[in-house]
């Protein structure tokens, strides 16, 4: 029964393969990898421009679609399916939709609850709770002051915007690695999703430090075969990655996991992030990247939303009542 179900999913994938390059998909998690690597590695050489990489990915996916015999539909390989999905994810990024959502994340030993909104000038967030307890009056005032300083300091705003733009560019660059940097194999069905295993492609030469770390990952993808969406990625670093023969630094271990959810017609967002990387830089400094986030309650906002409008939007949301500090008896 399981084999019949798998074959049916593969066939449905093949019959719709010709439509792949016209579908819109949000980014499937490249930003998660970028976030993990941003603090752990540098780029030894200039990265390729996004349009050139998009063209390369588009070419790979086009080959995977057009070589199929329309008279005798057959399932594309796992690698061809991933290449086509990546093309659509890159194309979808041109729509520049903006969202507001809730975040629960771990920072050190604390769990913070925040509400974040995207704007044309960068992201803006408001702290709502610490370890599940609503902010007290003093904490609320401190967070309001932080928002005020941010909106009145062009330097802080510019840094936030540049960081966001850098991540977006790295995402576009790294997404295009997926069809080339890994080898893929179908591994059955998990509920209504195709399970695909990935491992480093020995014939691929990484062009940057980030690409070297990505290329060292192996794991599993879950893909929605009907919507051509990537629902989940779980990966781990197979071996240590050294920079400059270890003199500049190294990444000793790493794991990446994220989940995606459908938030609207042909609109998916990342709802779960769990990243752990550790290593050393210049021999002496130990570095680590730990990120754990759960995101929910996604809603669209205006694509040209300004920071001032975003602040008013956050302020208009119903907040839990301030917590009164408890005094000992």
Find the range with the poorest average confidence among 128-137, 176-185, 241-250.
Answer: 241-250
Q: Is 39 helix (H, G, I), strand (E, B) or coil?
A: coil
Cβ pair 57, 179 in contact under 8 A: yes
Q: What is the CA radius of gyration of the chain?
A: 22
Is the residue at 230 inside a domain?
A: yes
Q: To which H or E segment does residue 223 belong?
A: strand 217-224
Is the residue at 107 inside a domain?
A: no
Cβ pair 89, 26 in contact under 8 A: yes
Is the residue at 37 inside a domain?
A: yes
Instruction: Report the predicted TM-score, pTM, of the whole model to 2 decimal places.
Output: 0.71
**pLDDT tens sequence across 256-300:** 998 888 887 778 788 999 999 998 877 666 667 888 999 999 999
**pLDDT tens sequence across 179-236:** 999 999 999 999 899 999 999 999 999 988 888 888 999 999 999 888 888 889 999 9
**d(Cα 17, Cα 222) in Å, to the nearest integer?**
17
Q: 166 lies in which domain range?
A: 2-93+159-307
The count of structural domains within the chain is 1
* End-to-end Cα distance, the chain: 66
DSSP 239: S
Is the residue at 326 inside a domain?
A: no
Is the residue at 147 inside a domain?
A: no
Closest listed residue to residue 278, CA positions, set 238, 234, 240, 235: 240
Confidence bin at 122 (pLDDT 50/70/90): confident
Q: To which H or E segment does residue 141 belong?
A: helix 137-152
Which residues have C-beta within 8 Å of that of residue 5, sequence separation ≥ 6?
189
Which residues have C-beta within 8 Å of that of residue 82, sequence separation ≥ 6?
178, 179, 182, 184, 196, 198, 221, 223
Is the residue at 126 inside a domain?
A: no
CA 249 to chain centre: 25
């Amino acid at each position: 029964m399981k084999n019949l179900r798998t074959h049916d999913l593969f066939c449905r994938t093949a019959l719709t393969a010709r439509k792949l390059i016209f579908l819109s998909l949000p980014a499937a998690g490249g930003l998660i990898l970028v976030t993990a690597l941003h603090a752990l590695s540098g780029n030894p050489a200039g990265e390729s421009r996004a349009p050139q990489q998009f063209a390369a990915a588009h070419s790979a996916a086009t080959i995977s679609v057009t070589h199929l015999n329309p008279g005798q539909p057959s399932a594309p390989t796992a690698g061809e399916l991933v290449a086509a999905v990546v093309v659509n994810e890159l194309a979808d990024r041109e729509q520049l939709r903006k969202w507001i959502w809730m975040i629960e994340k771990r920072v050190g030993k604390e769990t913070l609850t925040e509400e974040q909104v995207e704007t044309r000038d960068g992201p803006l967030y408001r702290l709502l709770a610490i370890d599940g307890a609503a902010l007290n009056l003093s904490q609320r005032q401190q967070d309001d002051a932080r928002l005020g300083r941010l909106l009145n300091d062009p330097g802080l705003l510019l840094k936030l915007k540049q960081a966001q733009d850098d991540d977006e560019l790295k995402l576009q660059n790294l997404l295009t690695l997926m069809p080339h940097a890994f080898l893929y194999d179908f591994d059955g069905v998990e509920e209504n999703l195709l399970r695909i295993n990935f491992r480093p492609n020995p014939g691929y030469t990484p062009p940057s430090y980030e690409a070297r770390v990505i290329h060292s990952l192996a794991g599993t993808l879950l893909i929605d075969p009907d919507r051509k969406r990537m629902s989940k990625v779980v990966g781990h670093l197979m071996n240590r990655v050294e920079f400059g023969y270890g003199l500049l630094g190294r990444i000793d271990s790493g794991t990446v996991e994220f989940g995606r959810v459908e938030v609207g017609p042909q609109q998916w967002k990342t709802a779960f992030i769990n990243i752990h990387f550790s290593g050393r830089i210049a021999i002496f400094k130990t570095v680590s990247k730990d990120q754990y986030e759960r995101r929910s309650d996604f809603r669209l906002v205006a694509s040209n939303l300004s920071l001032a409008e975003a602040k008013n939007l956050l302020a208009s949301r119903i907040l839990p009542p301030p917590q009164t500090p408890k005094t000992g008896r």
